[in-house]
Amino acid sequence: MKKTHSLSSYLLLLISLTAIASATTIGVTYSTPASISGNVHLSPDRIAEKVVSMKIPAVRLLDSNPAMIRAFAYTNVSLFLSVPNPLVPLLASNRSLAMRWVYRHVLPFHPRTKISIISVGNDVISYSPDVSPFLLRAMQNIHLSLVDLRIFKISVSTTFSFFNIVPTAFPPSSAQFQQPNGEVIIRPILQFLERTNSSFLINLYPYNMYRSSFSIPIGFALFEEFPFNFRDDLTTGVRYRNLFDMMVDAVISSMAVMGHENLPVIVAETGWPSSGIDASEVDATLLYSEMFLKALLTHLRSGCGTPLRKEGVSEVYIFELVEKDAKQGIRNWGLLHHNMTSKYSFEFSDGGKAGRYKELLIGFFVQVVMIGYGYVCRNLRLSFGISENVILGLTHRNYRS
């Protein structure tokens, strides 16, 4: 009876550690700045070295600079590439151009550089509405180009912006994609993503939603645990304790309305600005930015997911790695100053905790196997009188064969 109880305990610990080890991948976005502040030279190699030193596992390259893609070769950092919006109609109308893009941005580097996903366009519905009808065909042409080159592990998708496709976030259970774009643009893309085992990509900023609604308290947006920092979805009976989860579940509900509730979701951009466009943005401060990022990282690493999706989002990309030139009229989002020093007191890296969890997981797995092995041996000896040496001999013989 004791052995059974011990085995059950180990199995429970194994399940718990598996949940921890499978927490969301947390990366950053990076785009080559139009101008460099002072005499600081942000070469691709320097950026790659900094990312590796910060133990960041994934980077979204907003401009997919080939030199930057090359700089991440052999680093084991996963890259999320982007096709610029102006190229979308060209790639949709000309298959050979799509193949040429793949030849320039993927083929010279794969698999030395670990490219995981390509986003064809970024928030096209908002920035380039005339381009939207070309999205699906461009995605198909990039996907077919990869298949023709026998590259099967790079998925193809496009990135939407939460505010431009989900008009109402609360309650999440009632959320739907905005029409007519939902039926005309998004539904066919969801079908493509389902067929190709790709993910739904979304830019999701709690800061923007907090600013757009006076009814949302700052603590709810910053993951703070206060008595009244929650919202109840009366339809599902779910209680939301932070704005990020509420927005993610609104996306999941919107996909469910169209029959694609199980598609993986990747948050392609999120963050909180450390300074605003002008003095009216009183909540765009370094303090609130640090509070949001620390709480978000803790929440994502907990592996607890969201109320509607226990595994949560598969990846989240913090906007952004290096801040742009500080000037009037732009928000600052960077984790690093122009000289590549950190703006915050906390470390982006988890300090190797993920590696230690994996080691613990392997250790517990070995112990569970050994307990099971001892249990089988004991029962064989009791039932058939087979010695342990005979059992070991049979095991080794079967292993060699």
Q: What is the pLDDT of residues 142-192, one digit of tens each?
A: 999 999 999 999 999 999 999 999 998 899 999 999 999 999 999 999 999
Residue type present at position 126: S
Q: Which pairing describes strands 231-233 and 238-240: parallel, antiparallel, or unpaired?
A: antiparallel
The reported pLDDT for the residue numbered 379 is: 54
Q: Is the pLDDT of residue 70 over 60?
A: yes
Lowest mean pLDDT segment, chosen from 73-82, 137-146, 302-311: 302-311
CA-to-CA distance for 334 and 324, rounded, in angstroms? 7
The reported pLDDT for the residue numbered 91 is: 97
Q: Is the pLDDT of residue 384 over 60?
A: no
SS (HEC) of the chain: CHHHHHHHHHHHHHHHHHHHHCCCEEEEEECCCCCCCCCCCCCHHHHHHHHHHCCCCEEEECCCCHHHHHHCCCCCCEEEEEECHHHHHHHHHCHHHHHHHHHHHCCCCCCCCEEEEEEEEECHHHHCHHHHHHHHHHHHHHHHHHHHCCCCCCEEEEEEEHHHHCCCCCCHHHCCCCCCHHHHHHHHHHHHHHHCCCCEEEECCHHHHHHHCCCCCHHHHCCCCCCCCCEEECCCCEEECCHHHHHHHHHHHHHHHCCCCCCCEEEEEECCCCECCCCCCCCCCHHHHHHHHHHHHHHHHCCCCECCECCCCCEEEECCCECCCCCCCCCECCCECCCCCECCCCCCCCCCHHHHHHHHHHHHHHHHHHHHHHHHHHHHHHHHCCCHHHHHHHHHHHHHC
The reported pLDDT for the residue numbered 242 is: 95
CA-to-CA distance for 302 and 357, rounded, in angstroms? 12
For residue 353, name the pLDDT band (cuts at 50, 70, 90): very low
For residue 85, name the pLDDT band (cuts at 50, 70, 90): very high
Give the distance, in angstroms, between the CA of residue 241 and the centroid of all CA atoms in the same chain.
21
Lowest mean pLDDT segment, chosen from 71-75, 116-120, 261-265, 391-395: 391-395
For residue 254, name the pLDDT band (cuts at 50, 70, 90): very high
Rounded mean pLDDT, 103-107: 97
The reported pLDDT for the residue numbered 169 is: 85
Give 399 or 264, the one with higher predicted confidence: 264
For residue 378, name the pLDDT band (cuts at 50, 70, 90): low
Rounded mean pLDDT, 49-76: 95
Mean pLDDT across the chain:
83
Q: Any bridge partners for residue 240, and if so which?
A: 231
Q: What is the pLDDT of residues 179-229, one digit of tens each?
A: 999 999 999 999 999 999 999 999 999 999 999 888 889 999 999 988 778
The verdict on pTM exceeding 0.85 is: no
The reported pLDDT for the residue numbered 327 is: 61
- Name which of 307, 305, 331 is nearest 319 in CA terms: 331
CA-to-CA distance for 352 and 354, rounded, in angstroms? 5
Q: Is the pLDDT of residue 90 over 60?
A: yes
Q: Is the pLDDT of residue 394 over 80?
A: no
